[in-house]
Amino acid sequence: MLRQSIRATLTSMMTTRPSRLARPIATIAHAALRRTAPLRAAPLRAAPLLAALLLASCATYRTRPLSLTPPLHASPASLDHQLLNGHQIDPTAPLSPQALAALAVLNDPTLAAARAQAGIAQAQAFAAGLLPDPNLQGGFGALLAGPAVAPSIAASITEDVAALITRGARLRAARARSAEAAANVMWQEYQVAAQAETLAVALWADRSSLAALDHARRALRSLTAVSRQQIAAGNLTIDQAAPAEASLASLDAARDTAAQQALTDQASLAALLGLTPAAPIILARPVIPPLPPGGAAGLIASLAQRRPDLIALRYGYRAADADLRAAILAQFPLMSLTVNGGSDTSRVATVGPNVSLNLPIFNGNRGNVAVARATRRQLNAAFTAALGAAQGGADAAQRALTLLIRQRAAASDRLTQADHAADAASRAFRSDLIDARTETDLIDQQATRRTELIALDQKIAAGRIALATMLGAGLPIAALNGTAR
């Protein structure tokens, strides 16, 4: 009904006879258009070509609806496992920490969002390089009365010359910010890889601790079973068997804690891989090699050329410097150039330029220059602070690793002694040479020493990963122009 009503109204408007006032106006306009037909013929012929050019330069719109399907995979087999060098990772085989790091970089949903964010900076760099569009204006005055012989026609085209003056500096700033965003994404990828390696080492340690605790629990359960038989036979009192029961309860609590930690680490690693928490992840034994002797010193010396976050800060400083340059250029008189042309009612044609200048008397863009100088000064201080923090963090990580390696050597010796003592105590207990309390203490001691060594191995591996990340190990020395060596 609404469409029929609108159609009827339009039909009525088109068929209604013009009023008395509309008739002379229509007659005068028709006569004026007849007089100017030769003047309008050429523009009308060029209009289709101009319209086609304008439409060709326009962007097109396409819808991109959100996907409402949960993105996490239930199996590692469905992950993206194709590396950039053409090699592939078998996600169903036992995976080393390095392989898991590569899979995390390929499949982490957060990294995908970060890469899309960096694309905004690239688009902004593209936009900064575009030339300003000229402004075209035109006018037509129909001849209605008077001694004139023709209608008036006027046209002008204006170009913002000031934008052309600052274009180079603005383009350098936008390109530097695009490179800064790319370097930040690379640093985030590097950190995700290190986090995946650290979680793989932690999950291996969790499972190893569970195996060690299960071994001790089986030994204690066997001991408590024998003790209960001895109590039933009247050969052992309850207070003599109580330590084994208490130790078994402590081991049960420790195993529950280790199982919860393993579940947490499994979920964190699965999230980095784009997997559901219950997805099976088969681990290979972690091997995290140390840095070559003396290699850390050389890497510390080249931190500013190696670590992506520091390179990003350098690009940010370059962008701020270009912003300052653009602000200084904008101090000079800003000019716009206009070319005017037309024909008056006596058919006198004219054409000529028109220049407009902004005089830098009161403002002179001095406020923007001051802001740009302060921003550059702040980024200089921020880069120095970040470089110092990176150097101090690397030195502290080295010292911590040295201490952990010494502690690990001592813990290994203690575990060897505990293993010998536990084996001897087991034989002695079966021969009734020691009591249940002594056997319980030695089983507890063996489990404690073994989990202690597992924890130290995990800390050493995590420390090596952290040190390599702090030093940017494996990354090339990059120049700000985008080249690397």
pLDDT digit string, tens, across residues 331-372: 887 778 899 988 888 888 889 888 888 888 888 888 999 999
Q: Is the pLDDT of residue 237 over 90?
A: no
pLDDT band at 12 (very low <50, low <70, confident <90, very high): very low
Q: How long is the chain?
A: 485
Q: Could you give phi then psi for residue 158, rounded to 5 degrees?
A: -125, 140
CATH of region 92-130+175-328+381-485:
1.20.1600.10
Rounded to two decimals, the pTM is 0.79
User: How confident is the model at residue 51, as a pLDDT?
Assistant: 60
Q: Is the pLDDT of residue 32 over 60?
A: no
Taking the domains of the chain in order of start, what are their residue ranges? 92-130+175-328+381-485
Tell me the two tokens of residue 20.
């008395």
Do 346 and 197 touch, CB atoms closer than 8 A?
no
pLDDT in tens, 239-252: 767 787 888 888 89
Q: Is the pLDDT of residue 329 over 70?
A: yes
Higher pLDDT, 297 or 262: 262
Rounded mean pLDDT of the chain?
84
Q: Is the pLDDT of residue 77 over 60?
A: yes
pLDDT band at 49 (very low <50, low <70, confident <90, very high): low
User: How confident is the model at residue 28, as a pLDDT?
Assistant: 31
Average pLDDT over residues 279-302: 89
Sequence-separated (6 or more) residues with CB below 8 Å from residue 433: none
Q: Is the pLDDT of residue 439 over 50?
A: yes
> What percent of the chain has a predicted confidence (pLDDT) above 70?
86
Closest listed residue to residue 216, CA positions, set 433, 442, 453: 442
User: How confident is the model at residue 202, as a pLDDT?
Assistant: 96
pLDDT in tens, 201-229: 999 999 999 999 999 998 888 888 877 77
Strand ranges of the sheet holding 349-358, from the earlier edge strand across to the other edge: 135-141, 152-160, 334-343, 349-358
Higher pLDDT, 15 or 186: 186
User: How confident is the model at residue 233, as a pLDDT?
Assistant: 74
Average pLDDT over residues 392-419: 94
Sequence-separated (6 or more) residues with CB below 8 Å from residue 457: 205, 408
User: How confident is the model at residue 475, as a pLDDT?
Assistant: 85
Closest listed residue to residue 261, CA positions, set 218, 211, 210: 210
Least confident of 19-33, 37-51, 270-284, 377-391: 19-33
